[in-house]
Every structure is written in C-alpha cells, then in structure tokens.
Structure 1
Amino acid sequence: MLDNMSTTVETASERSAAKVNQEIRALWLRSGGTLTTEQRAEYQRLVMEWAAVVPEERRAA
C-alpha cells in the first residue's frame, strides 16, 4: 500500500533539498502569495519531496 504512494517522491528525490526549496519559493513568487487549487497540489507535492530529501542529506553530512 505505501509502495504505490512513494513512487513520485522517490523519483523526484534525486534533487537536492535546496533545489526543491528553490522551486517552492518560485511557485510562491509566481502565485503572488495566493495559490490556486492546481498550484496548491504542486506545492504539496514539492513539500513532500523536500521532506523526503532533507533527512537523506542530513545522514550524508
């Protein structure tokens, strides 16, 4: 059950936390501070990706 949910994050987690964070900030800038439903879904996906990458980077440090 969890395997199906994690495929997007695993694929995207090849990027660094800094790169994902940069994309999150760009999304907020483009939106003018108010996210549409579509942008909110993208934001949630990015935050999940970021959260998956941060612990990996801390372990590697």
Structure 2
Amino acid sequence: MTMPEQSPAQPSAEAINREIRALWVDGSMPAERRGEYARLVIAWAEAMRAEQELAA
C-alpha cells in the first residue's frame, strides 16, 4: 500500500511578505520580476485569508 502524497505546507503570509519585500530591496522592481510579484501578492492574500479562518 502506498501512502498518499502530502502537499507542501503553504508558506505563512509573513514569509510571503518577506519575499515581496525582497523584490523591492533596492527601491524598484525590474519589469521581468513583475509576474513573480503578482503571483506573490495573490499567494499572500490567500495565506492571510487562511490564517484569518484558522483564527476564527
């Protein structure tokens, strides 16, 4: 019998926020990183929502 694969734990909103801030470390963001920024903002919003649901 094989065990079902576990999905990796979703990073916390705080961890995602650190990644977002790192993109802006020099005060601007290169155009080629804007897609990554958009993905991170969505992930951050989802993590915030999940953390709020757990707190409720």
TM-score in terms of structure 2 length? 0.74
The alignment status of 1:21 with 2:54, answered yes or no, reads: no
TM-score in terms of structure 1 length? 0.69
Map of 1:45 onto structure 2: 39
Gaps of 5+ in 1: 1-10
Higher helix share: 1
Q: Is the 8 A contact 1:17 1:50 kept in 2?
A: yes
The alignment status of 1:60 with 2:54, answered yes or no, reads: yes
Q: What's the Cα RMSD here?
A: 2.0
CA distance in 1, matches of 2:41, 2:30: 16
Q: Is the 8 A contact 1:13 1:49 kept in 2?
A: no
Deviation at 1:52?
Answer: 0.9
Aligned residues: 49
Deviation at 1:42?
Answer: 1.0
Give the greater-gyration-radius structure (CA): 2
Distance verdict in 2 for CA 1:25–1:13, change over 3 Å: farther
